Chains A and B, each alone.
Chain A
Amino acid sequence: MMKIKSKKSIAFLMSAIFIMSLFIVGGSALAQEDENVIKIGAVYPLSGSTAQNGETQRKAHEFAQKKINQAGGIEALDGAKIEMVYADSQSKPEVGIAEAERLITQENVVALMGTFESHVGLAVQDVAEKYGVPFIVCNALSDIFVEKDMDYTFKTVINLSQIGEDSVNFARKTAEANGDSDEVKTAAMLYGDFHFGHEVARFWKEYLPKKGFEIVADVAYPVPAKDMYDSILKLKSAKPDVLFSLGNISDSTLIMQTMKELNYYPEYAMIGVGGGFTESTFFDNVGDLAEGLYMVNDWLPKINMEGAQELNSEFKEEYGREMTGNANSTYAAMWVLKDALERAGSTDGDELRIALENTDITSGPVTFMYNRVKFDEHGMNISAQNVVGQVQDGEKVVVWPEDKAIAEPVWPVPDWQERK
């Protein structure tokens, strides 16, 4: 008797859920038959372990969308408003492909942006190319994006290889500037077993010897990490002069905390790269443990660029976090797209592509980050450049290169006991 009742109730429940969702989807589909709107598709990991990073990018898009629309939308298209359409990649390329196809064929987006994770982005890139829809890579770093022969890909964010090179160069140059280049001889690498981790590690292994560093520890940690004690203990016994590290938000947080708990700090400096070490959430969680940490990224709040601080404050007021962790390159890319739409005066894929190819921006909202946005023949932004910053008194200040620096690097970075 119980069985019959429950069967009826499941049937009911399931149909209820189905019908509900149909209504909601149907409802939103109807809402789309709007007036003058230009849709831009964005594919990000919005669920799973990298959802936090996806959410950060979403905020950057929303921020830009708001400002662009407030400033009148796309004038060349009768003030059409920008509307972002987001899709979850679940960190899987096959899902990225499906969502990219859906955004292009069902939602009719004029361009795709994303995807934070390179292995997803490289799959999305093929889809965009097939349909002739411009794909603006604004927060996925792999060099492969611009090594493939693609007409519709435009990358505003730095290449991964630059991270490897710049981080090592910086360490050597700063040691030289401080006169202790002879003592700074050893380096250690601490990275996670994920795509970005292995790729950067490859570049580090190549560059470190070239700049006079002996690699005394090559420590890869499993992701997600349960515990960092063993990794940090390995570093402690290897005693590197400079530590090069990367990780997701969770890993980076654990790294920092474990270093404090095990009472370990590298002899001279710790250089962190990638999403984990620059995301707001990381800083929220580690607090003043991050003091002295060097970060390599496209942009940091305290930078010698026009309008940077103001923009950061505005973003912080709106979203309660600073515009770090690739939110900056994403925001800037929105304006680059806007600029191209204005010059193209059309949403046609090819015309937009040509407009993007002819991009040459030297003023306007992107100057907080780029001196000049121009794409080379491979679709790479020529002014995409790393800066190196350091956490000084809780502020993320740029210390390199000189023209963008606000402060001098503190080198060597004091040990835990020597701090207040």
Chain B
Amino acid sequence: MKQQFSIDYLLSNWNKTQIRLLGIWFIIMLVLPLFIDSSYILHIFIATMIYIFVAQSWNILAGLAGQLSIGHIMYFGVGGYITTLLFVNFNISTWIGLLAAAVGGGLLGLFVSAVVLRYGLKEDYYALFTLAMSQMLLLIFMNLPFAGGAEGIYVPFRGSNFLNLQFESKLPFYYIILLFVLLLSYFVYRLMNTKMGLYFIAIRENEMAAEAIGIDIVKYKRYATILSGALTAVGGGLFTIYTAYAEPNLVFGFSQNFEFIIMAVVGGKGTIFGPIIGTMFLKPLNEFLRAAYGGTLPGLAYLIYGGVLAIIILFLPSGFMGLFRRLLNKFKKN
């Protein structure tokens, strides 16, 4: 038993360690509502968990497979619109809407990877391409009357209904999104041990070497994109149903792109627990700063936030998980 908690063990089974952390986090989040009676605080945690979900989805493509998808929000927006349009116009249950969103996100991922791989876009060019795609989608949806244009789509409350993921109180949604995050993170853990996951990591570490040993990098990059795109789209659907509104600038916005990415990177890109800890730190910080200063000295909140971000990126490039790992190594030596 002692061996299981020794630092050596923790370090050499890094993923397992993170799963334990995930477990601890899950239990904490499970019982947390018992100690909060504020709907406001509950809302902050729900929003945080939606962000975790999207950050983790992005993590699959950018963290595991190492693809610089900066315009990743395109999947988020597409998912958000599909889910809301289906619900609002055809009264299609949200669960089915989320499934449709996943399909939509996956298809978009297929399209993006086809284009990128056919024309060999790498690194910076790939990043700029995804950015251009996301902003194009913004403009397109802005000019689509059936999608509400700039007015957006308001999602009416059609009564407390599990099938629509609409509830009177916030509690049910809290537990649902908690489950989503748990399942996705566990999925990432399992993925890292499968052939596909290992291939992703191999591609990230050294694409040429991976190709040299016979990995079909075109195929696996495509898989990563589709998988990540589909999951991100589900995140978008969850977000728009919860906030009951979809609008081009909100779900395709240039600055929204960075929000999810920053949380994953600050936590530790490519790790299982990274997106969780990064978001758990940054989102409440964001809320806290806004609550404290937003009404009195608005600029200050974002000034501090921007400053904190810059400092973390400068001094902790592998995020919190990287720091944690280094600390463990230090203790090990002692």
Decide: A198 near B151, CB < 8 A? Known: A6-B315, A92-B250.
yes
Are A10 and B316 neighbours in the complex by a CB distance under 8 Å?
yes
Given contact pairs A7-B315, A101-B39, A119-B245, A21 touches B295 in the complex (Cβ within 8 A)? no
Summarize A's interface: helix, strand, loop or mixed: helix
Other-chain residue from B139, B245, B295 in contact with A222 (beta carbon distance below 8 A): B139
Q: How far, in whole Å, are A220 and B151 apart by their CA atoms in the complex? A: 14
> Measured between C-beta atoms, what is the minimum distance from A41 to chain B in Å?
9
Q: Indicate if the CB atoms of A198 and B150 lie closer than 8 Å.
A: yes
- Mostly helix, strand, loop or mixed at chain B's interface? helix
| Interface residue count on the A side (C-beta < 8 Å) | 43
- Whether B311 and A98, one on each chain, are in contact in the complex, defined by CB atoms closer than 8 angstroms, is no
**Among A21, A25, A94, which residue has its beta carbon within 8 angstroms of that of B243?**
A94
0/1 string, B243-266, CB within 8 A of A gives 1: 111010010000000000000000
Can you list, as one digit per residue, whether each of A351-376 has a CB less than 8 Å from chain B (1) or not (0)? 00000000000000000000000000
Complex: A99 Cα to B44 Cα, angstroms: 10
Report how many residues on chain B are interfacial, defined by Cβ distance under 8 Å. 41
Chain B residues in 8 Å Cβ range of A24: 292
Give the residues from 69 to 108 in chain A that come closer than 8 angstroms, CB to CB, to chain B: 85-88, 90, 92-95, 97-99, 101-102, 105-106
Please tell me if the beta carbons of A85 and B44 are within 8 angstroms of each other in the complex: no
B296 within 8 A of A: yes
A40 at the interface (CB under 8 A from B): no
CB contacts (< 8 Å) of B291 on chain A: these are: 25, 87, 99, 102
Cβ-defined partner of B294 (8 Å) among A99, A192, A198: A99
A336 within 8 A of B: no
Known: A6-B315, A10-B311, A97-B243. Is A193-B295 also a contact (CB below 8 A)? no
**Are B308 and A17 in contact, CB atoms less than 8 angstroms apart?**
yes
**Of B150, B294, B307, which is within 8 A of A87 by CB?**
B294
Given contacts A98-B47, A105-B38, contact A195 B296 (CB under 8 A): no
Which A residues are CB-close (under 8 A) to B40? Answer: 98, 101-102, 105-106
Q: Hey, which bits of chain A sit against chain B, CB under 8 A?
A: 6-7, 10, 13-14, 17, 21, 24-25, 28, 46-47, 51, 85-88, 90, 92-95, 97-99, 101-102, 105-106, 119, 122-123, 126, 144, 192-195, 197-199, 220, 222
16 A-B contacts, Cβ less than 8 Å apart? Answer: A10-B311, A10-B316, A21-B304, A47-B299, A90-B290, A95-B290, A97-B243, A98-B47, A102-B291, A106-B38, A119-B151, A122-B154, A195-B151, A195-B247, A198-B150, A199-B151
